[in-house]
Amino acid sequence: MLKLAVVGKGGSGKSTLSWLLIQYLANLKQLVLGIDADYNMNLLSNLGLDYSAEVPTLHHSHQQFRQFIGLTENESWGMLKDRKLPQFSINPDDEYTASLTLQVSEQIKLIVVGLGDEDVLDSLLCGHGQVAPLKWYLPNLETNGTTVVIDSVAGTDMLNYNLYQGCDALIGVVENHRNSIRVLQQIQQTADRLNLPFYVVCNQSVEESIATEILSRWDKQLLGNLPHDEAIAPTIILKLVRKLKTASIRFGDR
Ligand SMILES: Nc1ncnc2c1ncn2[C@@H]1O[C@H](COP(=O)(O)OP(=O)(O)OP(=O)(O)O)[C@@H](O)[C@H]1O
Ligand SMILES: [Mg+2]
Protein backbone atom coordinates (compact mmCIF):
# COMPACT_ATOMS: atom_id res chain seq x y z
CA MET A 1 0.00 0.00 0.00
CA LEU A 2 0.99 3.59 -0.52
CA LYS A 3 3.21 5.68 1.71
CA LEU A 4 2.23 9.32 1.17
CA ALA A 5 3.79 12.47 2.60
CA VAL A 6 1.77 15.69 2.77
CA VAL A 7 4.03 18.70 2.26
CA GLY A 8 3.79 22.46 1.68
CA LYS A 9 4.23 25.94 3.10
CA GLY A 10 3.59 26.63 6.78
CA GLY A 11 -0.13 26.95 7.45
CA SER A 12 -1.15 25.79 3.96
CA GLY A 13 -3.33 22.96 5.34
CA LYS A 14 -0.99 19.94 5.58
CA SER A 15 -2.32 18.70 8.93
CA THR A 16 -5.91 19.29 7.83
CA LEU A 17 -5.45 17.36 4.60
CA SER A 18 -3.54 14.53 6.37
CA TRP A 19 -6.31 14.28 8.94
CA LEU A 20 -9.12 14.28 6.32
CA LEU A 21 -7.27 11.69 4.23
CA ILE A 22 -6.80 9.44 7.26
CA GLN A 23 -10.44 9.77 8.30
CA TYR A 24 -11.63 9.19 4.75
CA LEU A 25 -9.65 5.96 4.41
CA ALA A 26 -10.73 4.81 7.86
CA ASN A 27 -14.38 5.44 6.94
CA LEU A 28 -13.84 3.11 3.98
CA LYS A 29 -12.71 0.52 6.56
CA GLN A 30 -9.13 0.70 5.32
CA LEU A 31 -6.21 0.50 7.71
CA VAL A 32 -4.14 3.68 8.01
CA LEU A 33 -0.91 4.56 9.76
CA GLY A 34 -0.61 8.30 10.35
CA ILE A 35 2.85 9.65 11.07
CA ASP A 36 2.91 13.03 12.77
CA ALA A 37 6.38 14.12 11.70
CA ASP A 38 5.87 17.71 12.86
CA TYR A 39 7.17 18.59 16.32
CA ASN A 40 4.05 20.71 16.87
CA MET A 41 1.92 17.58 16.61
CA ASN A 42 -1.22 19.08 15.08
CA LEU A 43 -2.14 15.76 13.51
CA LEU A 44 -2.16 14.13 16.94
CA SER A 45 -4.46 16.86 18.15
CA ASN A 46 -6.68 16.75 14.99
CA LEU A 47 -7.18 13.06 15.71
CA GLY A 48 -8.47 14.01 19.16
CA LEU A 49 -5.42 13.04 21.22
CA ASP A 50 -3.28 15.05 23.61
CA TYR A 51 0.49 14.96 23.97
CA SER A 52 1.76 13.81 27.35
CA ALA A 53 4.82 12.09 28.76
CA GLU A 54 3.03 8.74 28.25
CA VAL A 55 2.79 9.16 24.47
CA PRO A 56 5.52 7.05 22.85
CA THR A 57 7.61 9.08 20.39
CA LEU A 58 10.10 8.37 17.67
CA HIS A 59 12.40 10.77 19.46
CA HIS A 60 12.34 8.84 22.73
CA SER A 61 12.66 5.41 21.14
CA HIS A 62 16.01 5.83 19.41
CA GLN A 63 17.49 3.18 21.68
CA GLN A 64 14.87 0.57 20.73
CA PHE A 65 15.35 1.49 17.07
CA ARG A 66 19.10 1.04 17.27
CA GLN A 67 18.67 -2.32 18.95
CA PHE A 68 16.14 -3.45 16.35
CA ILE A 69 18.42 -2.62 13.44
CA GLY A 70 21.56 -3.83 15.20
CA LEU A 71 23.42 -0.52 15.54
CA THR A 72 25.77 -0.67 18.49
CA GLU A 73 26.31 2.23 20.87
CA ASN A 74 29.51 3.42 19.22
CA GLU A 75 28.21 3.22 15.66
CA SER A 76 26.75 6.29 13.95
CA TRP A 77 23.59 6.35 11.79
CA GLY A 78 25.81 6.72 8.72
CA MET A 79 26.98 3.11 9.20
CA LEU A 80 23.50 1.98 8.09
CA LYS A 81 24.13 3.14 4.54
CA ASP A 82 25.54 -0.11 3.21
CA ARG A 83 23.81 -2.55 5.54
CA LYS A 84 20.93 -4.81 4.86
CA LEU A 85 18.39 -3.79 7.47
CA PRO A 86 15.65 -5.90 9.05
CA GLN A 87 12.10 -5.35 7.84
CA PHE A 88 9.63 -3.39 9.92
CA SER A 89 6.00 -4.35 9.66
CA ILE A 90 2.61 -2.82 10.39
CA ASN A 91 -0.49 -5.02 10.86
CA PRO A 92 0.94 -7.26 12.21
CA ASP A 93 3.35 -4.93 14.02
CA ASP A 94 6.98 -5.78 14.64
CA GLU A 95 8.25 -5.22 18.17
CA TYR A 96 9.56 -1.69 17.51
CA THR A 97 6.42 -0.56 15.65
CA ALA A 98 4.20 -2.04 18.36
CA SER A 99 6.05 -0.11 21.06
CA LEU A 100 5.72 3.13 19.11
CA THR A 101 2.20 3.19 17.66
CA LEU A 102 -0.91 4.65 19.27
CA GLN A 103 -4.15 2.89 18.41
CA VAL A 104 -6.44 5.83 17.63
CA SER A 105 -9.40 3.74 16.45
CA GLU A 106 -10.01 0.31 14.96
CA GLN A 107 -8.60 1.44 11.59
CA ILE A 108 -6.16 4.19 12.57
CA LYS A 109 -2.72 3.90 14.13
CA LEU A 110 -0.45 6.86 14.78
CA ILE A 111 3.26 7.41 15.26
CA VAL A 112 4.44 10.78 16.57
CA VAL A 113 7.91 12.27 16.33
CA GLY A 114 7.50 14.21 19.55
CA LEU A 115 8.48 17.52 20.99
CA GLY A 116 12.07 18.37 21.80
CA ASP A 117 12.73 18.02 25.52
CA GLU A 118 15.63 19.22 27.65
CA ASP A 119 17.85 16.64 25.98
CA VAL A 120 17.36 18.46 22.65
CA LEU A 121 17.79 21.91 24.17
CA ASP A 122 21.05 20.86 25.79
CA SER A 123 22.29 18.89 22.82
CA LEU A 124 24.94 20.13 20.41
CA LEU A 125 23.30 18.01 17.72
CA CYS A 126 20.71 19.26 15.26
CA GLY A 127 17.03 18.65 16.09
CA HIS A 128 16.63 16.71 12.85
CA GLY A 129 18.25 13.81 14.68
CA GLN A 130 14.92 13.34 16.44
CA VAL A 131 13.36 12.23 13.19
CA ALA A 132 16.38 10.22 12.02
CA PRO A 133 14.82 6.73 12.36
CA LEU A 134 12.17 7.69 9.77
CA LYS A 135 14.87 7.67 7.10
CA TRP A 136 15.40 3.93 7.55
CA TYR A 137 11.99 3.01 8.93
CA LEU A 138 9.93 4.12 5.91
CA PRO A 139 11.82 2.30 3.16
CA ASN A 140 11.95 -0.89 5.23
CA LEU A 141 8.32 -0.82 6.38
CA GLU A 142 6.17 -3.66 5.08
CA THR A 143 2.68 -2.10 5.02
CA ASN A 144 0.54 -5.23 4.52
CA GLY A 145 -2.33 -3.25 3.01
CA THR A 146 -2.08 -0.27 5.38
CA THR A 147 -1.84 3.20 3.83
CA VAL A 148 0.76 5.45 5.45
CA VAL A 149 0.02 9.20 5.63
CA ILE A 150 2.80 11.48 6.88
CA ASP A 151 2.05 15.00 8.08
CA SER A 152 5.14 17.12 7.54
CA VAL A 153 7.09 19.97 9.01
CA ALA A 154 6.56 23.05 6.80
CA GLY A 155 8.70 23.58 3.71
CA THR A 156 11.44 21.50 2.12
CA ASP A 157 13.14 20.66 5.36
CA MET A 158 12.37 16.95 5.59
CA LEU A 159 13.08 16.35 1.92
CA ASN A 160 16.41 18.13 2.02
CA TYR A 161 17.53 15.63 4.64
CA ASN A 162 16.05 12.80 2.57
CA LEU A 163 13.97 11.77 5.56
CA TYR A 164 11.15 10.67 3.29
CA GLN A 165 13.07 8.15 1.26
CA GLY A 166 10.81 5.16 0.88
CA CYS A 167 7.72 7.28 0.26
CA ASP A 168 5.72 6.47 -2.87
CA ALA A 169 4.47 10.00 -3.48
CA LEU A 170 4.33 13.54 -2.16
CA ILE A 171 1.12 15.54 -1.95
CA GLY A 172 1.88 19.26 -1.97
CA VAL A 173 -0.72 21.60 -0.49
CA VAL A 174 -1.01 25.04 -2.02
CA GLU A 175 -3.12 27.93 -0.69
CA ASN A 176 -3.93 31.50 -1.61
CA HIS A 177 -0.44 32.93 -1.28
CA ARG A 178 2.37 33.43 -3.75
CA ASN A 179 4.87 32.04 -1.23
CA SER A 180 2.84 28.88 -1.08
CA ILE A 181 3.52 28.37 -4.80
CA ARG A 182 7.20 29.21 -4.34
CA VAL A 183 7.62 26.67 -1.53
CA LEU A 184 5.88 24.02 -3.59
CA GLN A 185 8.23 24.71 -6.50
CA GLN A 186 11.20 24.12 -4.18
CA ILE A 187 9.61 20.93 -2.91
CA GLN A 188 8.97 19.76 -6.44
CA GLN A 189 12.61 20.37 -7.42
CA THR A 190 13.71 18.14 -4.55
CA ALA A 191 11.04 15.56 -5.37
CA ASP A 192 12.27 15.45 -8.97
CA ARG A 193 15.85 14.96 -7.80
CA LEU A 194 14.69 12.08 -5.60
CA ASN A 195 12.45 10.66 -8.32
CA LEU A 196 9.38 10.99 -6.12
CA PRO A 197 5.98 11.35 -7.80
CA PHE A 198 4.49 14.72 -6.87
CA TYR A 199 0.81 15.76 -6.73
CA VAL A 200 -0.89 18.99 -5.72
CA VAL A 201 -4.03 19.82 -3.74
CA CYS A 202 -5.30 23.39 -3.66
CA ASN A 203 -6.65 24.27 -0.22
CA GLN A 204 -9.53 26.75 0.11
CA SER A 205 -10.41 29.34 -2.50
CA VAL A 206 -7.62 31.21 -4.29
CA GLU A 207 -7.52 34.44 -6.29
CA GLU A 208 -7.74 34.16 -10.04
CA SER A 209 -4.08 35.03 -10.62
CA ILE A 210 -2.94 32.35 -8.13
CA ALA A 211 -5.33 29.80 -9.67
CA THR A 212 -3.94 30.58 -13.12
CA GLU A 213 -0.38 30.11 -11.90
CA ILE A 214 -1.22 26.83 -10.15
CA LEU A 215 -2.86 25.50 -13.30
CA SER A 216 -0.02 26.61 -15.54
CA ARG A 217 2.54 24.86 -13.32
CA TRP A 218 0.69 21.78 -12.12
CA ASP A 219 -2.22 21.16 -14.43
CA LYS A 220 -1.30 17.46 -14.68
CA GLN A 221 -0.45 17.01 -10.98
CA LEU A 222 -3.49 18.84 -9.56
CA LEU A 223 -5.73 16.37 -7.72
CA GLY A 224 -8.43 18.92 -6.85
CA ASN A 225 -9.57 21.68 -4.51
CA LEU A 226 -10.28 21.28 -0.83
CA PRO A 227 -13.06 23.77 -0.07
CA HIS A 228 -13.08 26.00 2.97
CA ASP A 229 -15.14 24.04 5.46
CA GLU A 230 -16.54 25.78 8.53
CA ALA A 231 -16.79 22.36 10.17
CA ILE A 232 -12.99 22.07 10.24
CA ALA A 233 -12.41 25.10 12.42
CA PRO A 234 -15.26 24.41 14.89
CA THR A 235 -13.90 20.91 15.58
CA ILE A 236 -10.68 22.52 16.73
CA ILE A 237 -12.46 25.38 18.50
CA LEU A 238 -14.66 22.88 20.35
CA LYS A 239 -11.52 21.11 21.56
CA LEU A 240 -10.05 24.42 22.64
CA VAL A 241 -13.20 25.36 24.56
CA ARG A 242 -13.16 21.95 26.25
CA LYS A 243 -9.53 22.49 27.23
CA LEU A 244 -10.11 26.03 28.48
CA LYS A 245 -12.99 24.77 30.60
CA THR A 246 -10.72 22.18 32.19
CA ALA A 247 -8.03 24.83 32.63
CA SER A 248 -10.44 27.29 34.26
CA ILE A 249 -11.57 24.61 36.70
CA ARG A 250 -7.94 24.11 37.59
CA PHE A 251 -7.36 27.84 37.93
CA GLY A 252 -10.53 28.07 40.05
CA ASP A 253 -9.14 25.44 42.38
CA ARG A 254 -6.09 27.49 43.18
N1 LIG B 1 -10.21 23.69 4.06
C2 LIG B 1 -10.22 24.30 5.24
N3 LIG B 1 -11.38 24.82 5.76
C4 LIG B 1 -11.37 25.45 6.95
N5 LIG B 1 -10.29 25.65 7.70
C6 LIG B 1 -9.12 25.18 7.24
C7 LIG B 1 -9.02 24.49 6.00
N8 LIG B 1 -7.73 24.13 5.81
C9 LIG B 1 -7.05 24.57 6.87
N10 LIG B 1 -7.87 25.20 7.73
C11 LIG B 1 -7.47 25.84 9.00
O12 LIG B 1 -6.28 26.59 8.75
C13 LIG B 1 -5.33 26.43 9.80
C14 LIG B 1 -4.01 25.88 9.23
O15 LIG B 1 -4.24 24.57 8.74
P16 LIG B 1 -3.24 23.37 9.07
O17 LIG B 1 -2.91 23.32 10.51
O18 LIG B 1 -3.82 22.17 8.43
O19 LIG B 1 -1.97 23.88 8.25
P20 LIG B 1 -0.48 23.25 8.26
O21 LIG B 1 0.03 23.41 6.87
O22 LIG B 1 -0.51 21.89 8.82
O23 LIG B 1 0.24 24.26 9.25
P24 LIG B 1 1.71 24.08 9.92
O25 LIG B 1 2.69 24.47 8.87
O26 LIG B 1 1.67 25.00 11.08
O27 LIG B 1 1.84 22.64 10.32
C28 LIG B 1 -5.98 25.50 10.82
O29 LIG B 1 -6.55 26.29 11.82
C30 LIG B 1 -7.08 24.79 10.05
O31 LIG B 1 -8.19 24.46 10.87
MG1 LIG C 1 0.66 21.06 10.39
Does the global pTM surpass 0.75?
yes
Instruction: Return the pLDDT at 57.
Output: 92
Instruction: Return the pLDDT at 252.
Output: 36
Instruction: Return the pLDDT at 94.
Output: 95
Instruction: Return the pLDDT at 156.
Output: 86
* CB neighbours of residue 11 within 10 Å: 13
Instruction: Return the pLDDT at 242.
Output: 57
Closest C-alpha among 48, 40, 42 to residue 13: 42
Give every strand in the sheet of 108-112, ordered side by side: 102-103, 108-112, 32-36, 147-151, 3-8, 169-174, 198-203, 222-226
Top mutation candidate among 232, 236, 239 for ligand 1, by most atoms within 8 Å of CB = 232
Task: State the distance from the centre of ligand 2 to the C-alpha of 117, rounded, in angstroms.
Answer: 20
Structural domains for the chain:
3-253 (3.40.50.300)
Task: State the distance from the centre of ligand 1 to the C-alpha of 12, rounded, in angstroms.
Answer: 6
Instruction: Return the pLDDT at 124.
Output: 62
Instruction: Return the pLDDT at 239.
Output: 57
Instruction: Return the pLDDT at 127.
Output: 64
Using a 10 angstrom Cβ sphere, with 0-12 exposed, 13-18 middle and 19 or more buried, the burial of residue 107 is: middle
Per-residue pLDDT of the chain (254 residues; tens, 9 = 90+): 799 999 999 999 999 999 999 999 999 999 999 999 988 889 999 998 988 888 999 888 888 999 999 998 888 888 888 888 999 999 999 999 999 999 999 999 999 988 766 666 666 666 667 788 899 999 999 999 999 999 999 998 888 878 888 899 999 999 999 999 999 999 999 999 989 999 999 999 999 999 999 999 999 999 999 999 887 766 655 555 555 555 544 433 33
Give, as residue ranges, everything with CB less than 5 Å from ion ligand 2. Answer: 14-15, 42
Backbone angles phi, psi at 38, to 5 degrees: -100, 130
Task: State the distance from the centre of ligand 2 to the C-alpha of 71, rounded, in angstroms.
Answer: 32
Instruction: Return the pLDDT at 40.
Output: 84
- Give the number of the ligand closest to the Cα of residue 205: 1
Task: State the distance from the centre of ligand 2 to the C-alpha of 81, rounded, in angstroms.
Answer: 30
Top mutation candidate among 15, 17, 204 for ligand 1, by most atoms within 8 Å of CB = 15
Task: State the distance from the centre of ligand 2 to the C-alpha of 11, rounded, in angstroms.
Answer: 7
Instruction: Return the pLDDT at 3.
Output: 95
